[in-house]
Structure 1
Amino acid sequence: MNTSSVEPLHCLKGAAEAEINPVSTMKSPRHLRALGALLNRGLLSREELDRIAGCSNFPGIVFSLRGKGFDLPCERETLVDRDGRTCRPGFYRLSPTDRTKARELLKGSA
């Protein structure tokens, strides 16, 4: 097969001109649940967001959301765990810009 005549997908006509807003195309229930909780409750730990989103690796969700234009700052706090050891769990929140994006997205998904 002669592959020199095969056009890669990104070269399809109109693809370069089409501006797709990655936030408006978000359909993941995990993303939507996490954004809703952060919008309503503010600062949440990674463990809380695992339970709310329905996943066991919320940092993976954060990576995906950041790829869609969200900032999702993570604040590390020094705490002592139940064994008396110092730990630094992460707490996520929405930036002011994220809050606007999340409101628009959740309004459109209702």
Structure 2
Amino acid sequence: MYAVIKTGGKQYRVSAGQKIKVEQMPADVGSEITLDQVLMVGEGESVKIGTPVVDGATVKATVLSQGRHDKVKIFKMRRRKHYIKHQGHRQNYTELRIEAISA
């Protein structure tokens, strides 16, 4: 069984036992959370598509860690104009392990 969930403005295709990194969520490490924005649930040939979410469908997940991704380096330069700009960014994330999908 798999599901398509929406969290942090992005969509993820998940199945039980899978680990994913999503946008940072306010949750403690080790706690269990319920994701209720399930856009689609599928099992084999049967597929339920929500309008926009599937009624009564939830995904239970456990928070494994909170962290930060690798640094993304931004470099801007205009040649012959004496303009150089260096910048960097590290995005926060929450790592989840999908425990169960209920439709």
Counting helix residues as a fraction of each chain, which structure ranks higher? 1
TM-score, scaled to structure 2: 0.31
User: Normalising to structure 1: TM-score of the pair?
Assistant: 0.30
Which is richer in strand?
A: 2
